[in-house]
Structure 1
Amino acid sequence: MTLPGDEVDELVRLRRQLHRHPELRFTERQTAATLERLLGPLGRIRTGIADTGVVLEIDGGAPGPTVLLRADMDAYPVQDSKQEPYASRNPGVCHACGHDVHMTVAYGVAARLAADPPARGAVTVLFQPAEEIPFGADSGAAAVLADEAFRDRRFDAVLGLHCWPDLPAGAVGIDRATAMAAKDAFRVEVLGRAAHAATPALGRDAILGLTAMVSTLHAAVSRSRNPDELVAFNIGTIAGGASQSQVAERAEATGTLRTHDPVVRERLKEVIERVARQQAAALDLGVRFTWANEMPPVRNAPEVVALAHAELSGHVDVVDLPVPPLTTDDFALLGALGPSLYVKLGVTGERGGAPLHSGAFDVDERCLATGVAALERLTRAVLDGRLAAEAPAPVAGAGTAATPAEAVAR
């Protein structure tokens, strides 16, 4: 399926505009204003969803199935290192996870649906704030679900897509069941006793305790999982101490655990907390341990997976993804609104590309037309009633078998 050249040019312009002006979670006001201006002629819009989100409603000619399309809006707190005219103009902020692409694709689908309205049904296009979640912060998807605009609503299908550097531009990947992992974020605070560096015996060194704890936790998680259990464990921040001449009174670290299996998830959470407490006690240190941002996995509904293979094969390059990644996304929460599918959009060109959350991340912009074509076709298939009530048995060899490279932990 090919988009006309003028539509592609418009998509490229919009993507670059959004990329130049990224905004962090719950501050996406310029982004929302840009979307409001573009979406106004397409249907009914509501702004202020979960504070900075935008919703567009497009009705068909008669009652029928309903579809929710979701695109996240926020950027990532990293410096843009690209030397491109469309590089970020906001210091320390960059669309390093492709949300500019997600919004552009959602707009492209909405524009095509408005230009050729479906015969029946209705489409809700959600531009969601705050998908990136620092430790202890709120999820944008959770805020959307609490907003009166989505209270007590259900959809026949909930669709979204995510940039995927493991796939080439022109391809879309479909995970068989799990599209993203569960995430459990943690913070461990080590509590010691301050003393002069010249008299360390009078103190209890929180930094020493924390550094020992980091190595011990990595080893404990590694030896508490089996080789066939997909797990990612990361400690991403460490802070502590007040002076080079003082035995540190306090130090803290934050990290995440990513899993697919709920049994493995609970086993490793128990291991992490127990080992942290034991390591602190061994060095006569106090400890405070906190879990936060506990996010369920993104599950693709089997009937929507089957529909995607049936409708997209032969129109775009569909790649069957048998090994689920260990990235996470609060799209998982939107699965409460209806059967969902999270498509992986190939974005890598012939020269390769940087990973997600890198300041060098960029896309081959041919992916924009592919994303629009795929989501529009899926949306119209649902509106036409082609979403089966029950998933058919999996077809061996559906799509192109491919195992994605180990994904970058989000």
Structure 2
Amino acid sequence: MSADDASFLIGIRSLRRTLHRTAELRFEEFRTADALAAVLRDAGLEPITGVATTGILATVEGERPGPHVLLRADLDAYPVDEAAEHEIRSATQGVSHACGHDVHMAAVAGALIRFAQNPPERGTVSALFQPAEEVPYGKRSGAEAVLEAGVLAPSYDAVVGLHCWPSLEAGVIGIDDRIAMAAKDAFQVVVRGRSAHAASPAEGRDAVVAIAAIVTGVHLAVGRRRDAGDIVAINVGTIVGGSSQSALAASASATGTIRTTDAAVRRRMREVVADVCDGVARQFDIGVDVHWANAMPAVENDPRMVALGRRVLPSVAEVVRMEDAPMTTDDFALLTALGPSLYFKLGVATRGVPAAPLHAADFTVDEECVGVAVEALAALATSVLAERTDPETPKGDGK
């Protein structure tokens, strides 16, 4: 690495630290966007700001027309207080980059700045800094909002994203053969009971007992309605109900998610939730409503981009095949409709040190990963611009 390269990497790591301190929640990433836009302008770029509220789109055009590559990073942080006490600790109480989006932003910015400093001979590289990847129940996806904003091209020759991956060490990149992130369906169960004094429960219909039965029943039923080869994760993450310890609750609700990689299993698991709710409604003589939201398809890697990544990225880092599809989800899935896509896993763990999982209060990264991510994104984009997306059947020169 030359002195200039070293100085550049120091600057990108400094940007990541600034973004880490400035952690903000979905559609509130105003300071984050300002910091990114300032760095991009300093590099001579003219970013489009305010995309879907806080998003940014910046572009570097080559000397001649050619392929168009879209790099994507997510802006928002996660609603968890950072546990570690260190110099770059999040300054926003109760909010931190426990999913590594600060690394994603710094890496995509770094890759685009490299192209700004040395524009490609042909083709175009764009970078989307997307708000609101973290989607609570019933809320809007940031990718959906960006697509509706109409600032993106109708299609791209490649769409590339990445995610910090704590099970991999810094200096390692993981590539999934097909499914990089699972599909997700979010549900809300609302129980309508009847209030009564705790001393005379027969006069009421206890919504809290019913919601407890639903939560337990769903978990048990999934185990009996899945086959050995089915990949399924189900979680109930919130329960709300009641107002007094001395009264039967008139209402209660719970929200959760189902995550799968197969469409048929996905349909069957939705039926499980509905069947359990119907049974509990009859058992407890109460009303139960099930609402579905935030349906998100799986993130599927394009085979040509997988082949490209496995050919190009070993020059940047150790590349490993991811054996099992994860049950995490990402609205990058919506952007894959724009072109052949690759979503790779960026190792962030310090060698020999067990890493905290994503969304944990003590999640952290080894900063070696930042430089690896910049070089990986730049290498992938450079190869696509050279029209080598399929190493076995290269395209013509496009003239």
Q: TM-score range by the shorter chain?
A: over 0.9
Matches within 5 A, 1:6-405: 6-40=7-41, 41-150=43-152, 153-350=154-351, 351-388=353-390
The 8 Å contact of residues 236 and 254 in structure 2, kept in 1 or not, is answered as yes
Aligned in 2, Cα 1:162/1:187: closer, same or farther, shift over 3 Å?
same
Q: How many Å separate the matches in 1 of 2:33 and 2:20?
A: 14
Aligned length: 391
Write out per-residue CA displacement over residues 366-386 of structure 1, whole angstroms, 9 at most, x where no aligned residue.
000110111100000000111
- Structure 2 letter corresponding to 1:54: I
Q: How many Å separate the matches in 2 of 1:353 and 1:84?
A: 17
Aligned in 2, Cα 1:49/1:386: closer, same or farther, shift over 3 Å?
same
The 8 Å contact of residues 186 and 293 in structure 2, kept in 1 or not, is answered as yes
Q: How many Å separate the matches in 2 of 1:44 and 1:339?
A: 26
What TM-score do you get using the length of structure 2 for normalisation? 0.96
The 8 Å contact of residues 167 and 355 in structure 2, kept in 1 or not, is answered as no
Write out per-residue CA displacement over residues 152-185 of structure 1, whole angstroms, 9 at most, x where no aligned residue.
6210000010000010000110000010000000
| Farther off after superposition, 221-230 or 95-104 | 221-230
The 8 Å contact of residues 44 and 58 in structure 1, kept in 2 or not, is answered as no
Q: How many Å separate the matches in 1 of 2:310 and 2:32?
A: 33
What TM-score do you get using the length of structure 1 for normalisation? 0.93
Q: How many Å separate the matches in 2 of 1:166 and 1:353?
A: 7
The 8 Å contact of residues 42 and 110 in structure 1, kept in 2 or not, is answered as no
Q: How many Å separate the matches in 1 of 2:114 and 2:22?
A: 25
Aligned in 2, Cα 1:35/1:87: closer, same or farther, shift over 3 Å?
same
- Structure 2 letter corresponding to 1:299: E
Question: How large is the RMSD of aligned CA atoms in angstroms?
Answer: 1.5
CA apart distance, 1:352: 2.1
The 8 Å contact of residues 130 and 142 in structure 2, kept in 1 or not, is answered as yes
Q: What SS is found at the alignment partner of 1:214?
A: helix
Write out per-residue CA displacement over residues 114-169 of structure 1, whole angstroms, 9 at most, x where no aligned residue.
1111100001100000000000000000011111212x621000001000001000
The 8 Å contact of residues 302 and 391 in structure 1, kept in 2 or not, is answered as no
Q: How many Å separate the matches in 1 of 2:367 and 2:125?
A: 25
- Identity value in percent: 50
Q: How many Å separate the matches in 2 of 1:293 and 1:47?
A: 26
CA apart distance, 1:390: 8.0
- Structure 1 letter corresponding to 2:122: R
The 8 Å contact of residues 112 and 126 in structure 2, kept in 1 or not, is answered as no
Q: How many Å separate the matches in 2 of 1:234 and 1:227?
A: 19
CA apart distance, 1:275: 1.2
- Structure 1 letter corresponding to 2:59: E
Structure 1 runs not aligned, ≥5 long: 393-410
- Structure 1 letter corresponding to 2:359: H
The 8 Å contact of residues 67 and 156 in structure 2, kept in 1 or not, is answered as yes
Q: How many Å separate the matches in 2 of 1:43 and 1:118?
A: 15
